[in-house]
Amino acid sequence: MRLVCSVFIGGFNLMRSPLLEKILERIRPDQRKRLRRLVRPAWLGTIRRTTPLSERHGYDRGTPVDRYYIERFLEEHRRDIRGRALEIKDSVYTDRFGADVDRRDVLDIDAANRRATIVGDLAAADGIAADQFDCFVLTQTLQFIYNVRAAIVHAHRVLRPHGVLLVTVPAAGRMSPEDKPSLDYWRFTATSCSSLFGEVFGAERITVRSYGNVLTAIAFLTGMAYEELSRRELDANDENFPVILGVRAIKR
Ligand SMILES: C[S@@+](CC[C@H](N)C(=O)[O-])C[C@H]1O[C@@H](n2cnc3c(N)ncnc32)[C@H](O)[C@@H]1O
């Protein structure tokens, strides 16, 4: 076993060595690719299956991976959650991360949501008065809104001057099997967020950050829980493989 391990660890290091890359350059491309697969095999283990490990985003195994990043984003900006706050669906994040919150409102398009203090469509929210909120916690909702630009315009409108919008959107993620028909329209990129929010708030008043890496994106897709990953694995950031994007936007 030790021998097998050292061969593979040796192979792994070899694959990164400039000398080997030089040797590889001299052999035929098909042989080169075969050698790469041999020296650096993809062992998929228990995720070598065409169905996910969880049908519930990982809730049946622990906490979904995207929640780790959503909570990290809100933790980083907890000082913004203050004064009069608005959140979608419930006030769980305002309650958990907010400081000096005087009043909390909950917006939902779903009239059956008893926690909603405001029932309405964020994309057509003319019924909500302008300049009311110091903070709007808008997590994991914009993917469900077809006219996402209209929703951002209203999110900006209902904020007070200097009010802060804290948004998270999915970059990767499965469709929910329970949503039939699916109302899930979008996945986002750092570029689309910079344009969408920059056009409404002004480019200099927004920051966009990506959270995740290739391992956590795969883990999230297959429905692993974040408790199954190490802190080091979760915290490694690779902008090429975002799980979510966090946007902080300040109204002028
Ligand atoms: C997955 S929850 C996201 C919010 C929750 N705080 C979270 O972080 O998971 C999506 C919520 O957005 C609501 N929603 C969907 N489209 C909406 C719209 N156009 N305007 C307002 N709420 C909407 C849904 O009814 C649902 O309660």
CA of 141 to the centre of ligand 1 (A): 5
DSSP conformational letter for 128 = S
Ligand 1 atom nearest to CA at 113? 27
Closest Cα to atom 2, ligand 1: which residue?
Answer: 141
Ligand 1 touching residue 122 (CB < 6 A): yes
Ligand 1 touching residue 147 (CB < 6 A): no
Ligand 1 touching residue 145 (CB < 6 A): yes
From CA 219, how far away is CA 125, in angstroms rounded?
36
Ligand 1 touching residue 73 (CB < 6 A): no
Ligand 1 atom nearest to CA at 93? 6
Ligand 1 touching residue 95 (CB < 6 A): no
The neighbouring-strand residues paired with 245 are: 169, 210
From CA 92, how far away is CA 119, in angstroms rounded?
17
Element (H, E) at 134: strand 133-139
Q: Are 163 and 137 in contact (CB under 8 A)?
A: no
CA of 110 to the centre of ligand 1 (A): 8
State the pLDDT at residue 6. 46
Question: How far from chain centre, in Å, is Cα 237?
Answer: 12
State the pLDDT at residue 15. 55
Domains observed in the chain: 2-41 (no CATH), 65-250 (3.40.50.150)
From CA 71, how far away is CA 223, in angstroms rounded?
18
CA of 248 to the centre of ligand 1 (A): 18
Ligand 1 touching residue 109 (CB < 6 A): yes
Ligand 1 atom nearest to CA at 110? 25
Tokens for 178?
A: 């329970």
Q: What's this model's pTM, rounded to 2 decimal places?
A: 0.92
Ligand 1 atom nearest to CA at 70? 8
- Reported as a single tens digit per residue, the pLDDT across 90-131 is 999 999 999 899 999 999 999 999 999 999 999 999 999 999
From CA 79, how far away is CA 109, in angstroms rounded?
28
Name every residue whose Cβ is closer than 8 Å to that of residue 122 and which is 6 or more positions away in sequence.
88, 107, 109, 141, 145, 151, 154, 155
| SS3 assignment, position 86 | strand
Ligand 1 touching residue 91 (CB < 6 A): no
State the pLDDT at residue 36. 86
Ligand 1 touching residue 184 (CB < 6 A): no
Question: How far from chain centre, in Å, is Cα 35?
Answer: 35
Q: Are 163 and 135 in contact (CB under 8 A)?
A: yes
Q: Where are the alpha helices (DSSP H) in 183-222?
A: 190-201, 214-222
For the chain (length 252 residues), average pLDDT per consecutive 10?
45 64 82 88 96 96 98 98 98 96 97 98 97 98 97 98 98 86 92 98 98 98 98 98 98 98
**Average pLDDT over all residues of the chain:** 93
Ligand 1 touching residue 88 (CB < 6 A): yes
The neighbouring-strand residues paired with 64 are: 225
CA of 114 to the centre of ligand 1 (A): 13
